[in-house]
């Protein structure tokens, strides 16, 4: 088996894919975005688990030997299920992001703010991972579901009126919390970094996608994965043209590879 597979509910996981490509330029990577069914973060755990199983079955049908779950919602609600059901290694976003944030917060005032989808926040997965590393850290979590459609639809420029108003509503109540680190616990959120930093100016922003890519790169190196030829392959469950148009904002570069449409309900 030759590829590393990466999936998300939509385009957000490309923030992890981008970091992984930089860390492992020779690996062959496959990305699946479930754009037809995004968002996952407003759905029940049962539905999130069903979608996660289908997404993984699709990747495994494509010659994948390890999976980066580049979705905070799936990582928080279904990672253990995937690890039980399938025989390949999985890396999720929660533990790597928690480790990075604890390193920062433990050296300062011990405060971490977690931003995620509703399903991520209600799972309590980030708090659990943080407390397992350092019980003295204070954690607050806030669900920011509207950040997902804002990021998918390009409302990410500093000063964007809609995004700024929504960020103010979600985050203004947490300015007094004085977080040392803010975990962008949904992989869509790094696109809104400038807008988030305008409301919460001081803390370090931790990208869950980028941290998970580092963990996957370590796994790949420790397991001595064979190097490929650095190919990219992109799959979506919705319109490939719109995927290609929007994906370059998340990747920070043109896609450089074709996008194929698949019917995820058949997996
Ligand atoms: N990128 C997903 C996450 O990290 C997306 C959110 C969603 O589908 O609601 O949670």
3-class DSSP state of 30: strand
> Which atom of ligand 1 has the smallest separation from the CA of 93?
4
Q: How far apart are CA 29 and CA 70, in angstroms?
A: 13
Q: How many CB atoms lie within 10 A of CB 123?
A: 22
* Comma-separated ranges of CATH 3.40.50.1860 domains in the chain: 4-92+210-266, 94-208
94-208 adopts what CATH topology?
Rossmann fold (3.40.50)
pLDDT means per 10 residues, the chain with 267 residues, are 90 96 94 97 97 98 95 98 98 98 96 97 98 97 96 91 97 95 96 95 92 97 82 96 92 90 98
186 is catalytic: yes
Which run of H or of E encompasses 22? helix 14-23
Tokens of 164: 């700024």
Could you tell me if the CB of 71 is within 6 A of ligand 1?
yes
Choosing among 1.10.1040.10, 3.40.50.300, 3.40.50.2300, 3.40.50.1860, the CATH entry for 4-92+210-266 is 3.40.50.1860
Could you tell me if the CB of 188 is within 6 A of ligand 1?
yes
> Which atom of ligand 1 has the smallest separation from the CA of 8?
1
Tokens of 215: 């963990």
178 is catalytic: no
pLDDT of residue 266: 97
Q: How far apart are CA 144 and CA 69, in angstroms?
A: 20
How far does residue 221's CA lie from ligand 1's centre (Å)? Answer: 27
Could you tell me if the CB of 9 is within 6 A of ligand 1?
yes
Helix axes 72-85, 208-222, angle to 10 degrees: 30
Q: Global pTM?
A: 0.96
Q: How far apart are CA 63 and CA 3, in angstroms?
A: 6
């Amino acid at each position: 088996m030759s590829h590393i597979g990466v999936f998300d509910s939509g385009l957000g996981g490309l923030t992890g894919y981008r970091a992984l490509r930089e860390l492992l330029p020779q690996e062959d990577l496959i990305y699946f975005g479930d754009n037809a069914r995004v968002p996952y973060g407003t759905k029940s755990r049962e539905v999130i688990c069903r979608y996660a199983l289908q997404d993984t079955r699709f990747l495994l049908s494509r010659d994948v030997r390890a999976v980066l779950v580049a979705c905070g919602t799936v990582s928080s609600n279904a990672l253990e299920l995937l690890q039980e059901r399938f025989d390949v290694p999985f890396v999720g976003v929660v533990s790597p992001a928690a480790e990075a944030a604890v390193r920062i917060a433990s050296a300062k005032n011990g405060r971490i703010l977690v931003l995620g989808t509703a399903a991520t926040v209600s799972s309590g997965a980030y708090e659990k991972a943080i407390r397992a590393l350092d019980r003295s850290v204070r954690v607050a979590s806030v669900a920011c579901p509207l950040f997902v459609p804002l990021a998918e639809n390009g409302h990410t420029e500093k000063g964007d009126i809609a995004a700024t108003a929504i960020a103010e509503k979600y985050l203004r109540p947490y300015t007094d919390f004085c977080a040392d680190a803010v975990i962008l616990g949904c992989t869509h959120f790094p696109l809104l970094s400038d807008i988030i930093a305008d409301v919460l100016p001081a803390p370090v922003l931790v990208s869950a996608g980028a941290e998970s890519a580092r963990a996957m790169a370590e796994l790949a190196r420790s397991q001595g994965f064979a190097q490929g030829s650095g190919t990219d392959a992109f799959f979506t469950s919705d319109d490939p043209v719109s995927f290609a148009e929007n994906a370059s904002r998340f990747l920070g570069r043109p896609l450089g590879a074709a996008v194929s449409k698949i019917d995820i309900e058949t997996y």
